[in-house]
Amino acid sequence: MLQVENIHVSYGRVEALHGVSLDVRQGEIVTILGANGAGKSTTLNAICGIFKTTEGAIRFEKEDIHTLAAHAIVARGVAQVPEGRRVFGTLTVRENLNLGAYTCNDKARVADNRQRVYTLFPRLAERVDQLAGTLSGGEQQMLAIGRALMGNPKILLLDEPSLGLAPLLVKAIFETIREINRSGLTVVLVEQNARAALKLAHRGYVMEVGRIVLEDTADRLLADPEVQKAYLGGAR
Amino acid sequence: MDFFLQQLTNGLAVGSIYALIALGYTMVYGVLKLINFAHGDLFAIGAYLGLTLLTAFGLTRFLGPLGVVIVLALMVMGLVAVVGAVLERVAYRPLRQAHRLSAVVSAMGASIFFQNALMLIYGARYKVYPHDILPKNVVSLLGVEVPLVRLLVLLTSVLMMVALYLFIQKTRIGTAIRAAAIDQRAAKLMGINVDRVIMIVFLIGPALGGAAGLMVGLYYGQINFTMGWMYGLKAFTAAILGGIGNIPGAMVGGLLLGVIEAMGAAYLSIAWKDAITFIVLIAILIVRPTGLLGERVAEKV
Ligand SMILES: Nc1ncnc2c1ncn2[C@@H]1O[C@H](COP(=O)(O)OP(=O)(O)OP(=O)(O)O)[C@@H](O)[C@H]1O
Ligand SMILES: [Mg+2]
Residues A226 and A162 in one domain: yes
Residues A38 and A5 in one domain: yes
List, in sequence order, the alpha helices (H) in chain B. 2-32, 39-56, 59-62, 65-87, 100-122, 148-170, 172-182, 184-189, 194-220, 227-242, 247-267, 273-287
Residue A175 lies in a domain: no
CATH of the domain at A190: 3.40.50.300
Q: What is the pTM of this model?
A: 0.91
**Is the pLDDT assigned to residue B9 strictly greater than 80?**
yes
Residues A25 and A133 in one domain: no
Pocket of ligand 1 (CB under 6 A): A 11, 16, 34, 36-42, 83
Residue A170, φ and ψ in degrees, nearest 5: -60, -45
Measured between alpha carbons, how far is B243 from A216 in angstroms, rounded to an integer?
A: 53
Cα(A43) to centroid of ligand 2, in Å? 9
Residues A70 and A162 in one domain: yes
Q: Which residue of B has its CA nearest to A137?
A: B300
Measured between alpha carbons, how far is A232 from B193 in angstroms, rounded to an integer?
A: 41
**Is the pLDDT assigned to residue B161 strictly greater than 50?**
yes
Measured between alpha carbons, how far is B149 from B134 in angstroms, rounded to an integer?
A: 7
Ligand 1 atom with the shortest distance to the CA of A35:
25
Give A-chain residues touching B193 at CB under 8 angstroms. 69, 71
Place B266 in a pLDDT band, splitting at 50, 70 and 90.
confident
Cα(A209) to centroid of ligand 1, in Å? 10
ipTM for the complex?
A: 0.93
User: Whose CA is closest to A17, among A68, A157, A1, A45?
Assistant: A45
**Which of these CATH numbers, 1.10.3470, 2.30.30, 1.10.405, 1.10.10, describes B10-124+134-287?**
1.10.3470
Residues lining ion ligand 2 (Cβ < 5 A) are A 41, 83
Residues A13 and A31 in one domain: yes
Furthest-apart CA atoms within chain B: distance in Å: 62
Place B301 in a pLDDT band, splitting at 50, 70 and 90.
very low
Measured between alpha carbons, how far is B125 from A166 in angstroms, rounded to an integer?
A: 70
- B44-54 pLDDT, tens digit per residue, is 999 999 999 98
> Testing the interface with B: which of A50, A65, A90 to mutate, by most B Cβ within 10 A?
A90
% of chain A residues with pLDDT over 90: 79
Residues A68 and A44 in one domain: yes
- Determine the pLDDT at residue B300: 35
Cα(A45) to centroid of ligand 1, in Å? 11
Residue B25 CA, distance from chain mean position: 8
Residues A61 and A162 in one domain: yes
Residues A11 and A44 in one domain: yes
Residues A71 and A160 in one domain: yes
Conformation bin of residue B208: beta by default, left when phi > 0, alpha when psi is -120 to 50: alpha
Cα(B284) to centroid of ligand 2, in Å? 39
Place A99 in a pLDDT band, splitting at 50, 70 and 90.
very high
Q: How many CA atoms lie within 13 A of B183 on its CB side?
A: 20
The number of beta carbons lying within 10 Å of the beta carbon of residue A192 is: 15
Domains of chain A: total: 2
Residues A64 and A13 in one domain: yes
Q: Which domain holds residue A59?
A: 1-77+156-166+184-236
Q: Taking CB atoms and an 8 Å cut-off, how many pairs form between chains A and B?
A: 82
Residues A161 and A229 in one domain: yes
Record: contact A91-B176, CB cut-off 8 A:
no
CA dihedral A79, A83, A85, A88 (to 10 degrees): -80
Query: Which among B191, B195, B301 has CB closest to A102?
Result: B191
**Is the pLDDT assigned to residue B188 strictly greater than 90?**
yes
Measured between alpha carbons, how far is A158 from A175 in angstroms, rounded to an integer?
A: 14
Record: contact B175-A69, CB cut-off 8 A:
no
- Determine the pLDDT at residue B265: 87
Asked whether A52 and A226 are in contact (CB, 8 A), the reply is no
Best probe residue, ligand 1, of A8, A10, A31, A41 (max atoms within 8 Å of C-beta): A41
List, in sequence order, the alpha helices (H) in A102-215. 107-120, 122-126, 137-150, 167-182, 194-200
Nearest CA to ligand 1 atom 27: A36
Residues A230 and A160 in one domain: yes
Quick one: average pLDDT of B198-219? 96
Residue B272 DSSP label: G
Give A-chain residues touching B197 at CB under 8 angstroms. none
- How far the first Cα of chain A sits from its last, in Å, is 35
Segments making up each domain of chain B, as ranges: 10-124+134-287
Residue A54 DSSP label: S
- Mean pLDDT of chain B, nearest integer: 90
User: Whose CA is closest to B177, among B71, B22, B27?
Assistant: B27
Quick one: average pLDDT of A105-129? 92
Conformation bin of residue A234: beta by default, left when phi > 0, alpha when psi is -120 to 50: left
